[in-house]
Amino acid sequence: MLTGKAMTSRIDKRFAQCRAEKRAALVTFIMAGDPDAALSLDILKALPKSGADIIEVGMPFSDPMADGPAIQAAGLRAMRAGMTLKGVLAQVEAFRRDDADTPIVLMGYYNPIYVYGVDRFLADAKAAGVDGLIVVDLPPEEDVELCLPALRAGVSFIRLATPTTDDRRLPAVLANTSGFVYYVSVTGVTGQKRPDYSKVATAVRRIKAHTDLPVAVGFGVKDAAAAAEIGANADAVVVGSAIIDALARTLDADNRGGPAAVAAVSKLVNELAAGVASARR
Protein backbone atom coordinates (compact mmCIF):
# COMPACT_ATOMS: atom_id res chain seq x y z
CA MET A 1 0.00 0.00 0.00
CA LEU A 2 1.20 3.48 -0.86
CA THR A 3 0.40 6.23 1.59
CA GLY A 4 2.12 9.23 0.04
CA LYS A 5 3.74 10.16 3.39
CA ALA A 6 7.38 9.61 2.48
CA MET A 7 7.94 13.33 2.09
CA THR A 8 6.47 16.47 3.57
CA SER A 9 4.43 18.15 0.88
CA ARG A 10 3.11 21.69 0.60
CA ILE A 11 -0.25 20.27 1.66
CA ASP A 12 1.23 18.72 4.81
CA LYS A 13 3.03 21.95 5.67
CA ARG A 14 -0.07 24.07 5.20
CA PHE A 15 -2.21 21.86 7.44
CA ALA A 16 0.55 21.91 10.07
CA GLN A 17 0.58 25.71 9.90
CA CYS A 18 -3.21 25.88 10.32
CA ARG A 19 -3.09 23.48 13.28
CA ALA A 20 -0.44 25.68 14.90
CA GLU A 21 -2.75 28.65 14.40
CA LYS A 22 -5.62 26.62 15.92
CA ARG A 23 -7.93 26.98 12.95
CA ALA A 24 -9.23 25.08 9.99
CA ALA A 25 -7.78 25.66 6.53
CA LEU A 26 -9.78 27.42 3.83
CA VAL A 27 -9.77 25.54 0.53
CA THR A 28 -11.06 27.53 -2.44
CA PHE A 29 -12.04 26.29 -5.89
CA ILE A 30 -11.90 28.10 -9.20
CA MET A 31 -12.20 26.81 -12.75
CA ALA A 32 -9.07 27.28 -14.83
CA GLY A 33 -9.83 29.52 -17.80
CA ASP A 34 -13.09 30.94 -16.46
CA PRO A 35 -14.08 33.26 -18.06
CA ASP A 36 -10.76 33.46 -19.92
CA ALA A 37 -7.16 32.49 -19.26
CA ALA A 38 -5.87 35.93 -18.29
CA LEU A 39 -8.64 36.77 -15.82
CA SER A 40 -8.59 33.26 -14.40
CA LEU A 41 -4.88 33.63 -13.65
CA ASP A 42 -5.44 37.02 -12.02
CA ILE A 43 -8.06 35.45 -9.73
CA LEU A 44 -5.80 32.49 -8.98
CA LYS A 45 -2.99 34.82 -7.92
CA ALA A 46 -5.35 36.87 -5.73
CA LEU A 47 -6.68 33.92 -3.72
CA PRO A 48 -3.79 33.46 -1.24
CA LYS A 49 -3.72 37.20 -0.52
CA SER A 50 -7.45 37.02 0.27
CA GLY A 51 -7.08 34.18 2.76
CA ALA A 52 -7.11 30.93 0.77
CA ASP A 53 -4.83 28.29 2.32
CA ILE A 54 -5.17 25.65 -0.40
CA ILE A 55 -6.46 26.14 -3.94
CA GLU A 56 -8.38 23.63 -6.00
CA VAL A 57 -8.15 24.36 -9.72
CA GLY A 58 -10.82 22.85 -11.92
CA MET A 59 -9.88 21.07 -15.13
CA PRO A 60 -12.70 21.89 -17.59
CA PHE A 61 -14.55 18.85 -18.94
CA SER A 62 -17.57 18.48 -21.20
CA ASP A 63 -19.46 16.01 -18.97
CA PRO A 64 -18.96 17.06 -15.32
CA MET A 65 -21.40 14.63 -13.71
CA ALA A 66 -20.73 15.57 -10.06
CA ASP A 67 -20.92 19.32 -10.59
CA GLY A 68 -23.90 21.58 -10.09
CA PRO A 69 -25.04 24.36 -12.46
CA ALA A 70 -22.51 26.98 -11.32
CA ILE A 71 -19.42 24.84 -11.88
CA GLN A 72 -20.86 23.31 -15.06
CA ALA A 73 -21.32 26.83 -16.44
CA ALA A 74 -17.78 27.77 -15.40
CA GLY A 75 -16.39 24.78 -17.25
CA LEU A 76 -18.34 25.68 -20.38
CA ARG A 77 -17.12 29.27 -20.26
CA ALA A 78 -13.56 28.05 -19.89
CA MET A 79 -13.78 25.58 -22.77
CA ARG A 80 -15.41 28.18 -25.02
CA ALA A 81 -12.51 30.48 -24.21
CA GLY A 82 -10.09 27.76 -25.34
CA MET A 83 -8.87 26.33 -22.05
CA THR A 84 -7.26 22.88 -22.31
CA LEU A 85 -5.51 20.60 -19.84
CA LYS A 86 -2.18 21.88 -21.15
CA GLY A 87 -3.47 25.38 -20.47
CA VAL A 88 -4.45 24.42 -16.92
CA LEU A 89 -0.89 23.30 -16.23
CA ALA A 90 0.42 26.52 -17.76
CA GLN A 91 -1.73 28.49 -15.29
CA VAL A 92 -0.26 26.56 -12.36
CA GLU A 93 3.24 27.12 -13.70
CA ALA A 94 2.58 30.87 -14.01
CA PHE A 95 1.17 30.96 -10.47
CA ARG A 96 4.29 29.23 -9.12
CA ARG A 97 6.54 32.00 -10.42
CA ASP A 98 5.19 34.22 -7.63
CA ASP A 99 4.01 31.69 -5.03
CA ALA A 100 6.12 28.71 -4.04
CA ASP A 101 4.13 27.80 -0.93
CA THR A 102 0.36 27.66 -1.53
CA PRO A 103 -0.75 24.09 -2.29
CA ILE A 104 -2.46 23.58 -5.64
CA VAL A 105 -4.81 20.63 -6.20
CA LEU A 106 -6.25 19.89 -9.63
CA MET A 107 -9.85 18.71 -9.56
CA GLY A 108 -11.82 17.11 -12.35
CA TYR A 109 -12.39 13.94 -14.32
CA TYR A 110 -10.20 11.21 -15.71
CA ASN A 111 -10.98 11.47 -19.43
CA PRO A 112 -8.83 14.57 -20.18
CA ILE A 113 -5.92 13.05 -18.24
CA TYR A 114 -6.29 9.73 -20.07
CA VAL A 115 -6.26 11.51 -23.43
CA TYR A 116 -3.23 13.59 -22.37
CA GLY A 117 -1.42 10.43 -21.25
CA VAL A 118 -1.03 9.55 -17.58
CA ASP A 119 2.76 9.46 -17.41
CA ARG A 120 3.13 12.64 -19.44
CA PHE A 121 0.44 14.37 -17.41
CA LEU A 122 2.00 13.48 -14.05
CA ALA A 123 5.45 14.58 -15.18
CA ASP A 124 4.11 17.86 -16.51
CA ALA A 125 1.89 18.43 -13.47
CA LYS A 126 4.76 17.84 -11.05
CA ALA A 127 7.02 20.14 -13.06
CA ALA A 128 4.34 22.86 -13.10
CA GLY A 129 3.97 22.74 -9.31
CA VAL A 130 0.82 20.68 -8.79
CA ASP A 131 0.60 19.13 -5.32
CA GLY A 132 -2.46 16.91 -5.53
CA LEU A 133 -5.29 15.51 -7.62
CA ILE A 134 -8.99 14.99 -7.01
CA VAL A 135 -10.42 12.85 -9.79
CA VAL A 136 -14.02 12.22 -8.93
CA ASP A 137 -14.81 9.41 -11.36
CA LEU A 138 -11.98 7.01 -10.42
CA PRO A 139 -13.02 4.70 -7.54
CA PRO A 140 -10.46 2.82 -5.41
CA GLU A 141 -10.89 -0.25 -7.61
CA GLU A 142 -9.19 1.73 -10.39
CA ASP A 143 -6.18 2.92 -8.37
CA VAL A 144 -3.78 1.40 -10.87
CA GLU A 145 -5.02 3.85 -13.53
CA LEU A 146 -3.89 7.08 -11.88
CA CYS A 147 -3.78 6.99 -8.07
CA LEU A 148 -0.76 4.72 -7.69
CA PRO A 149 1.22 6.36 -10.51
CA ALA A 150 0.46 9.77 -8.96
CA LEU A 151 1.76 8.69 -5.56
CA ARG A 152 4.92 7.33 -7.15
CA ALA A 153 5.36 10.68 -8.90
CA GLY A 154 5.05 12.54 -5.58
CA VAL A 155 1.57 13.93 -6.26
CA SER A 156 -1.07 13.42 -3.57
CA PHE A 157 -4.24 11.61 -4.59
CA ILE A 158 -7.16 12.97 -2.57
CA ARG A 159 -10.22 10.79 -2.28
CA LEU A 160 -13.83 11.78 -1.64
CA ALA A 161 -16.01 10.27 1.08
CA THR A 162 -19.76 10.91 1.15
CA PRO A 163 -22.70 10.48 3.54
CA THR A 164 -23.26 7.06 1.95
CA THR A 165 -19.66 5.86 2.51
CA ASP A 166 -20.15 3.47 5.42
CA ASP A 167 -17.54 1.92 7.72
CA ARG A 168 -17.18 -1.12 5.47
CA ARG A 169 -16.35 1.06 2.46
CA LEU A 170 -14.12 3.62 4.20
CA PRO A 171 -10.95 1.46 4.39
CA ALA A 172 -11.00 1.02 0.61
CA VAL A 173 -11.59 4.74 0.09
CA LEU A 174 -8.73 5.65 2.42
CA ALA A 175 -6.23 2.96 1.40
CA ASN A 176 -4.10 5.07 -0.96
CA THR A 177 -5.45 8.51 -0.12
CA SER A 178 -2.89 11.19 0.74
CA GLY A 179 -2.87 14.91 1.43
CA PHE A 180 -6.34 15.02 2.95
CA VAL A 181 -9.74 13.37 2.75
CA TYR A 182 -12.50 15.40 1.10
CA TYR A 183 -15.85 14.76 2.78
CA VAL A 184 -18.80 15.63 0.56
CA SER A 185 -21.28 16.89 3.13
CA VAL A 186 -24.46 16.41 1.10
CA THR A 187 -25.75 13.91 -1.41
CA GLY A 188 -26.13 15.23 -4.93
CA VAL A 189 -24.13 17.70 -7.00
CA THR A 190 -22.12 20.73 -5.94
CA GLY A 191 -23.67 23.95 -4.74
CA GLN A 192 -27.29 22.83 -4.40
CA LYS A 193 -27.91 22.07 -0.71
CA ARG A 194 -26.79 23.30 2.68
CA PRO A 195 -25.23 20.64 4.90
CA ASP A 196 -26.68 19.52 8.21
CA TYR A 197 -23.92 20.74 10.50
CA SER A 198 -24.63 18.25 13.29
CA LYS A 199 -24.32 15.37 10.84
CA VAL A 200 -21.12 16.82 9.43
CA ALA A 201 -19.49 16.85 12.86
CA THR A 202 -20.45 13.20 13.39
CA ALA A 203 -19.15 12.24 9.95
CA VAL A 204 -15.81 13.96 10.53
CA ARG A 205 -15.33 12.08 13.80
CA ARG A 206 -16.20 8.80 12.08
CA ILE A 207 -13.67 9.36 9.28
CA LYS A 208 -10.98 10.39 11.75
CA ALA A 209 -11.44 7.06 13.52
CA HIS A 210 -10.07 5.47 10.34
CA THR A 211 -7.26 7.86 9.33
CA ASP A 212 -4.75 10.40 10.59
CA LEU A 213 -5.21 12.50 7.46
CA PRO A 214 -6.91 15.91 7.70
CA VAL A 215 -10.59 15.92 6.79
CA ALA A 216 -11.83 18.73 4.56
CA VAL A 217 -15.57 19.33 4.18
CA GLY A 218 -17.23 20.86 1.14
CA PHE A 219 -20.42 21.11 -0.95
CA GLY A 220 -23.01 23.66 0.16
CA VAL A 221 -20.74 26.17 1.95
CA LYS A 222 -21.86 29.55 0.70
CA ASP A 223 -20.93 32.21 3.26
CA ALA A 224 -18.84 33.06 6.30
CA ALA A 225 -21.44 31.71 8.75
CA ALA A 226 -21.50 28.32 7.06
CA ALA A 227 -17.70 28.30 6.87
CA ALA A 228 -17.54 28.94 10.61
CA GLU A 229 -19.98 26.10 11.34
CA ILE A 230 -17.95 23.63 9.28
CA GLY A 231 -14.61 24.97 10.48
CA ALA A 232 -15.53 24.28 14.10
CA ASN A 233 -15.17 20.54 13.47
CA ALA A 234 -13.35 19.94 10.18
CA ASP A 235 -9.67 20.39 9.41
CA ALA A 236 -10.58 22.37 6.29
CA VAL A 237 -13.57 24.08 4.72
CA VAL A 238 -13.95 23.79 0.94
CA VAL A 239 -15.84 26.46 -1.03
CA GLY A 240 -16.42 26.30 -4.77
CA SER A 241 -19.83 27.17 -6.19
CA ALA A 242 -20.21 30.34 -4.10
CA ILE A 243 -16.90 31.63 -5.48
CA ILE A 244 -17.91 30.76 -9.03
CA ASP A 245 -21.24 32.56 -8.49
CA ALA A 246 -19.45 35.67 -7.20
CA LEU A 247 -17.33 35.69 -10.33
CA ALA A 248 -20.27 35.02 -12.67
CA ARG A 249 -22.28 37.95 -11.31
CA THR A 250 -19.61 40.36 -12.55
CA LEU A 251 -19.61 39.11 -16.15
CA ASP A 252 -21.37 40.88 -19.00
CA ALA A 253 -23.82 39.30 -21.44
CA ASP A 254 -20.92 37.91 -23.47
CA ASN A 255 -19.25 36.41 -20.37
CA ARG A 256 -16.49 38.97 -20.39
CA GLY A 257 -15.08 40.19 -17.12
CA GLY A 258 -12.44 42.42 -15.63
CA PRO A 259 -11.08 43.75 -12.35
CA ALA A 260 -14.55 43.60 -10.78
CA ALA A 261 -14.38 39.81 -10.95
CA VAL A 262 -11.10 39.70 -9.01
CA ALA A 263 -12.50 42.15 -6.47
CA ALA A 264 -15.72 40.17 -5.98
CA VAL A 265 -13.94 36.86 -5.51
CA SER A 266 -11.35 38.42 -3.20
CA LYS A 267 -14.06 40.00 -1.05
CA LEU A 268 -15.93 36.72 -0.63
CA VAL A 269 -12.77 34.71 0.11
CA ASN A 270 -11.72 37.28 2.69
CA GLU A 271 -15.13 36.93 4.39
CA LEU A 272 -14.91 33.13 4.28
CA ALA A 273 -11.41 33.20 5.78
CA ALA A 274 -12.66 35.40 8.60
CA GLY A 275 -15.52 32.98 9.21
CA VAL A 276 -13.16 30.01 9.36
CA ALA A 277 -10.78 31.88 11.68
CA SER A 278 -13.64 32.72 14.07
CA ALA A 279 -14.82 29.11 14.39
CA ARG A 280 -12.53 28.06 17.24
CA ARG A 281 -12.15 31.29 19.19
Residue 67 annotated as catalytic: yes
- How far is 159 from 58, CA to CA, in rounded Å? 15
- How far is 273 from 271, CA to CA, in rounded Å? 5
- Please name the fold of domain 10-278: TIM Barrel (3.20.20)
Residue of 34, 53, 56, 245 marked catalytic:
56
pLDDT at 261 over 50: yes
Residue 188: per-residue pLDDT: 46
Extended strands (E) in 42-171: 54-58, 104-108, 132-135, 156-157, 160-161
Residue of 12, 34, 67, 131 marked catalytic:
67
pLDDT tens digit sequence for 116-140: 999 999 999 999 999 999 999 999 9
- How many CB atoms sit inside 10 A of residue 263's CB? 13
Helix (H) / strand (E) element for 217: namely: strand 215-218
- How far is 148 from 135, CA to CA, in rounded Å? 13
pLDDT tens digit sequence for 30-72: 999 999 999 999 999 999 999 999 999 999 998 888 788 999 9
Residue 229 annotated as catalytic: no
